[in-house]
Protein backbone atom coordinates (compact mmCIF):
# COMPACT_ATOMS: atom_id res chain seq x y z
CA UNK A 1 0.00 0.00 0.00
CA UNK A 2 1.43 3.39 -1.02
CA UNK A 3 0.82 6.51 1.04
CA UNK A 4 2.33 9.92 0.42
CA UNK A 5 2.62 13.51 1.58
CA UNK A 6 5.10 15.09 3.99
CA UNK A 7 2.84 15.26 7.07
CA UNK A 8 1.66 11.66 6.95
CA UNK A 9 5.16 10.49 5.96
CA UNK A 10 6.68 11.76 9.20
CA UNK A 11 3.63 10.78 11.27
CA UNK A 12 3.93 7.14 10.21
CA UNK A 13 7.72 7.26 10.51
CA UNK A 14 7.38 8.38 14.14
CA UNK A 15 4.46 6.20 15.24
CA UNK A 16 4.25 3.17 12.96
CA UNK A 17 7.76 2.40 11.78
CA UNK A 18 7.02 -1.33 11.99
CA UNK A 19 4.43 -0.90 9.22
CA UNK A 20 6.88 0.63 6.74
CA UNK A 21 8.34 -1.57 4.00
CA UNK A 22 10.12 1.02 1.86
CA UNK A 23 10.68 4.79 1.81
CA UNK A 24 10.83 6.94 -1.32
CA UNK A 25 12.24 10.45 -1.67
CA UNK A 26 11.65 12.53 -4.78
CA UNK A 27 13.23 15.74 -3.51
CA UNK A 28 16.13 16.95 -1.43
CA UNK A 29 15.19 17.58 2.20
CA UNK A 30 16.84 19.45 5.04
CA UNK A 31 19.52 17.77 7.12
CA UNK A 32 17.34 17.30 10.23
CA UNK A 33 14.55 15.65 8.23
CA UNK A 34 16.93 13.36 6.37
CA UNK A 35 18.56 12.34 9.66
CA UNK A 36 15.14 11.30 11.02
CA UNK A 37 14.47 9.30 7.88
CA UNK A 38 17.89 7.64 7.86
CA UNK A 39 17.71 6.74 11.57
CA UNK A 40 14.60 4.68 10.89
CA UNK A 41 16.79 1.99 9.36
CA UNK A 42 14.27 1.52 6.54
CA UNK A 43 15.54 1.26 2.98
CA UNK A 44 15.38 4.61 1.15
CA UNK A 45 14.97 4.83 -2.59
CA UNK A 46 15.45 8.04 -4.59
CA UNK A 47 12.86 8.66 -7.30
CA UNK A 48 12.68 11.17 -10.14
CA UNK A 49 9.54 13.28 -10.51
CA UNK A 50 7.96 11.07 -13.17
CA UNK A 51 8.42 7.87 -11.14
CA UNK A 52 7.08 9.54 -7.99
CA UNK A 53 4.01 10.83 -9.84
CA UNK A 54 3.35 7.34 -11.17
CA UNK A 55 3.67 5.80 -7.70
CA UNK A 56 1.31 8.42 -6.22
CA UNK A 57 -1.04 8.04 -9.21
CA UNK A 58 -0.83 11.78 -9.82
CA UNK A 59 -1.41 12.76 -6.18
CA UNK A 60 0.40 15.59 -4.41
CA UNK A 61 3.22 13.59 -2.81
CA UNK A 62 5.43 16.62 -1.94
CA UNK A 63 8.44 14.39 -2.59
CA UNK A 64 7.70 12.01 0.31
CA UNK A 65 6.23 8.55 -0.30
CA UNK A 66 6.28 5.19 1.46
CA UNK A 67 5.14 1.65 0.97
CA UNK A 68 3.45 0.26 4.09
CA UNK A 69 1.87 -3.05 4.99
CA UNK A 70 -1.76 -3.51 3.98
CA UNK A 71 -4.21 -2.10 6.50
CA UNK A 72 -5.89 -4.65 8.77
CA UNK A 73 -9.56 -4.00 9.42
CA UNK A 74 -10.84 -4.73 12.92
CA UNK A 75 -13.41 -7.56 13.34
CA UNK A 76 -16.87 -6.27 14.28
CA UNK A 77 -16.88 -8.08 17.62
CA UNK A 78 -13.85 -6.05 18.74
CA UNK A 79 -15.76 -2.77 18.38
CA UNK A 80 -18.48 -3.99 20.70
CA UNK A 81 -16.09 -3.59 23.65
CA UNK A 82 -15.99 0.21 23.25
CA UNK A 83 -18.35 2.85 24.63
CA UNK A 84 -18.55 5.24 21.67
CA UNK A 85 -18.74 4.00 18.08
CA UNK A 86 -19.10 6.17 14.97
CA UNK A 87 -21.04 4.51 12.15
CA UNK A 88 -20.79 5.87 8.60
CA UNK A 89 -23.85 4.74 6.68
CA UNK A 90 -23.51 5.30 2.95
CA UNK A 91 -20.66 7.80 3.06
CA UNK A 92 -18.41 7.14 0.08
CA UNK A 93 -16.09 10.12 -0.23
CA UNK A 94 -12.68 9.18 1.19
CA UNK A 95 -11.98 12.82 1.99
CA UNK A 96 -15.02 12.98 4.24
CA UNK A 97 -14.26 9.61 5.84
CA UNK A 98 -10.65 10.63 6.45
CA UNK A 99 -11.70 13.94 7.96
CA UNK A 100 -14.21 12.19 10.24
CA UNK A 101 -11.56 9.67 11.31
CA UNK A 102 -9.12 12.46 12.14
CA UNK A 103 -11.72 14.39 14.16
CA UNK A 104 -12.90 11.27 15.98
CA UNK A 105 -9.34 10.37 16.92
CA UNK A 106 -8.64 13.89 18.22
CA UNK A 107 -11.70 13.65 20.48
CA UNK A 108 -10.68 10.23 21.78
CA UNK A 109 -13.19 8.18 19.76
CA UNK A 110 -11.25 5.33 18.18
CA UNK A 111 -13.94 3.03 16.74
CA UNK A 112 -15.19 3.63 13.20
CA UNK A 113 -17.81 1.33 11.67
CA UNK A 114 -18.25 1.76 7.92
CA UNK A 115 -21.20 0.24 6.09
CA UNK A 116 -19.98 -1.04 2.73
CA UNK A 117 -18.11 -3.89 1.10
CA UNK A 118 -14.92 -1.91 0.49
CA UNK A 119 -13.36 1.53 0.94
CA UNK A 120 -10.32 3.33 -0.44
CA UNK A 121 -8.31 2.88 2.72
CA UNK A 122 -5.16 4.51 1.28
CA UNK A 123 -7.14 7.71 0.65
CA UNK A 124 -8.72 7.54 4.11
CA UNK A 125 -5.33 7.17 5.78
CA UNK A 126 -3.93 10.04 3.73
CA UNK A 127 -6.83 12.45 4.32
CA UNK A 128 -6.89 11.60 8.03
CA UNK A 129 -3.19 12.65 8.18
CA UNK A 130 -2.42 9.15 9.47
CA UNK A 131 -4.93 9.15 12.34
CA UNK A 132 -6.85 6.27 10.74
CA UNK A 133 -3.86 4.01 11.42
CA UNK A 134 -4.44 4.53 15.14
CA UNK A 135 -8.13 3.61 15.00
CA UNK A 136 -10.23 0.48 14.93
CA UNK A 137 -11.95 0.53 11.54
CA UNK A 138 -14.52 -2.12 10.71
CA UNK A 139 -16.44 -2.82 7.51
CA UNK A 140 -19.92 -4.35 7.57
CA UNK A 141 -22.21 -4.93 4.60
CA UNK A 142 -25.47 -5.16 6.55
CA UNK A 143 -25.79 -1.96 8.56
CA UNK A 144 -29.24 -2.71 9.95
CA UNK A 145 -28.13 -6.06 11.38
CA UNK A 146 -25.09 -4.35 12.94
CA UNK A 147 -27.37 -1.78 14.58
CA UNK A 148 -29.60 -4.57 15.91
CA UNK A 149 -26.60 -6.29 17.48
CA UNK A 150 -25.32 -3.10 19.06
CA UNK A 151 -28.75 -2.25 20.42
CA UNK A 152 -29.03 -5.69 22.03
CA UNK A 153 -25.69 -5.03 23.73
CA UNK A 154 -27.04 -1.88 25.35
CA UNK A 155 -25.77 0.76 22.95
CA UNK A 156 -28.00 3.83 22.54
CA UNK A 157 -28.31 4.71 18.85
CA UNK A 158 -28.21 8.35 17.77
CA UNK A 159 -29.12 9.17 14.17
CA UNK A 160 -27.70 12.38 12.74
CA UNK A 161 -30.54 14.30 11.09
CA UNK A 162 -31.07 17.95 10.25
CA UNK A 163 -34.44 17.92 12.03
CA UNK A 164 -33.20 16.00 15.07
CA UNK A 165 -33.13 17.33 18.62
CA UNK A 166 -30.55 20.02 19.21
CA UNK A 167 -27.42 18.25 20.43
CA UNK A 168 -26.79 21.08 22.91
CA UNK A 169 -30.01 20.27 24.75
CA UNK A 170 -29.24 16.57 25.29
CA UNK A 171 -27.34 14.57 27.86
CA UNK A 172 -26.17 11.59 25.81
CA UNK A 173 -25.78 8.05 27.11
CA UNK A 174 -22.42 6.64 28.16
CA UNK A 175 -22.62 3.73 25.72
CA UNK A 176 -23.56 5.07 22.32
CA UNK A 177 -23.36 4.93 18.54
CA UNK A 178 -23.51 8.07 16.40
CA UNK A 179 -24.71 7.27 12.88
CA UNK A 180 -23.84 9.67 10.05
CA UNK A 181 -25.60 9.40 6.69
CA UNK A 182 -24.49 9.81 3.10
CA UNK A 183 -23.33 13.13 1.68
CA UNK A 184 -26.31 13.65 -0.59
CA UNK A 185 -29.22 11.85 1.03
CA UNK A 186 -28.47 11.44 4.73
CA UNK A 187 -29.97 8.44 6.51
CA UNK A 188 -32.94 6.45 5.24
CA UNK A 189 -36.15 6.34 7.27
CA UNK A 190 -35.52 2.65 7.89
CA UNK A 191 -32.24 3.48 9.65
CA UNK A 192 -33.71 6.44 11.54
CA UNK A 193 -36.57 4.30 12.87
CA UNK A 194 -34.04 1.74 14.09
CA UNK A 195 -32.33 4.41 16.21
CA UNK A 196 -33.34 5.55 19.68
CA UNK A 197 -33.09 9.25 18.94
CA UNK A 198 -32.26 11.73 16.16
CA UNK A 199 -29.82 14.54 16.88
CA UNK A 200 -29.07 17.68 14.94
CA UNK A 201 -27.38 21.05 15.09
CA UNK A 202 -29.33 24.24 15.65
CA UNK A 203 -28.24 26.71 12.97
CA UNK A 204 -28.61 30.46 13.45
CA UNK A 205 -28.68 31.18 9.73
CA UNK A 206 -31.16 29.47 7.45
CA UNK A 207 -29.33 26.86 5.40
CA UNK A 208 -30.05 23.38 4.12
CA UNK A 209 -27.25 21.42 5.81
CA UNK A 210 -23.57 21.19 6.70
CA UNK A 211 -20.93 19.04 5.05
CA UNK A 212 -21.04 15.64 6.75
CA UNK A 213 -17.51 15.90 8.16
CA UNK A 214 -18.21 19.40 9.56
CA UNK A 215 -21.48 18.21 11.08
CA UNK A 216 -19.72 15.23 12.62
CA UNK A 217 -17.06 17.47 14.18
CA UNK A 218 -19.73 19.56 15.93
CA UNK A 219 -21.79 16.57 17.08
CA UNK A 220 -18.76 14.64 18.28
CA UNK A 221 -17.37 17.59 20.22
CA UNK A 222 -20.67 18.17 22.00
CA UNK A 223 -21.21 14.49 22.76
CA UNK A 224 -17.70 14.05 24.15
CA UNK A 225 -17.47 17.36 26.02
CA UNK A 226 -21.07 17.82 27.21
pLDDT tens per residue across span 17-34: 999 999 999 988 888 888
Question: Which of 38, 68, 98 is the C-terminal boundary of a domain?
Answer: 68
Q: What is the pLDDT of residue 66?
A: 95
Q: What is the pLDDT of residue 205?
A: 78
Percent of the chain surpassing pLDDT 90: 82
Q: Does an H or E element contain 5, and which? A: none
Asked if residues 133 and 16 have their Cβ atoms less than 8 Å apart, the reply is yes
Q: Are residues 57 and 150 in the same domain?
A: no
Whether residues 100 and 204 fall in one domain: yes
Residue 159: pLDDT above 70? yes
Nearest to 135 by CA among 100, 98, 105, 170: 105
| pLDDT class of 203 with cuts at 50, 70, 90 | confident
Give the pLDDT of residue 184. Answer: 78
Q: Is the pLDDT of residue 224 over 70?
A: yes
Give dist(CA 51, CA 47) in Å, integer. 6
Same domain, 50 and 89: no
pLDDT at 208: 65
Looking at the structure, do residues 201 and 154 belong to the same domain, yes or no? Answer: yes
Kindly indicate the confidence band of residue 118, based on its pLDDT and cuts at 50, 70 and 90.
confident
- Do 191 and 101 belong together in one domain? yes
pLDDT (tens digit, 9 = 90+) per residue, 206-216? Answer: 766 789 999 99
Across the range 72-80, mean pLDDT stands at: 95
Domain's final residue, options 45, 68, 91: 68
Task: Based on the fold, state whether residues 61 and 121 are members of the same structural domain.
Answer: no
- Whether residues 16 and 57 share a domain: the answer is yes
**Full domain range(s) for residue 127:** 76-224
User: Over the chain, what is the mean pLDDT?
Assistant: 93
Compute the C-alpha angle 218/5/181, nearest 5°: 30
Residues 84 and 64 in one domain: no
Provide the number of structural domains found in the chain.
2
Residues 6+ apart with CB under 8 A from 39: none
Q: Are residues 93 and 205 in the same domain?
A: yes
- Helix 6-15, helix 31-39: angle, nearest 10: 40
138 shares its domain with 83: yes
User: What is the mean pLDDT of the segment spanning 158-172?
Assistant: 92
Q: 47-69 pLDDT, tens per residue?
A: 998 999 999 999 999 999 999 99
CA distance 213 to 161: 13
CATH number of the structural domain spanning residue 82: 3.40.1280.10
Q: What is the CATH number of the domain that holds 46?
A: 3.30.1330.30
Please tell me the predicted confidence (pLDDT) of residue 110.
93
* pLDDT band at residue 117 using 50, 70 and 90 as cut-offs: confident
pLDDT at 215: 94
Of the three residues 43, 68, 93, the one that is the final residue of a domain is 68
- HSE-CB for 126 with a 13 A CA cutoff: 23
Same domain, 54 and 123: no
- Interval 90-115: pLDDT, tens: 998 999 999 999 999 999 999 999 99
Amino acid sequence: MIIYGKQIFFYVLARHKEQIEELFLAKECDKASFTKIAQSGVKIKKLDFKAAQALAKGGNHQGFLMRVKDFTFTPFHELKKDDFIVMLYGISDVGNIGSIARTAYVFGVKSLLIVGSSVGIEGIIRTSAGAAMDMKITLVQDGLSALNELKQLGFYLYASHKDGKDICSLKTKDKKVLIMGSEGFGLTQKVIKKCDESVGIKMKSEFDSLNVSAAFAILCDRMVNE
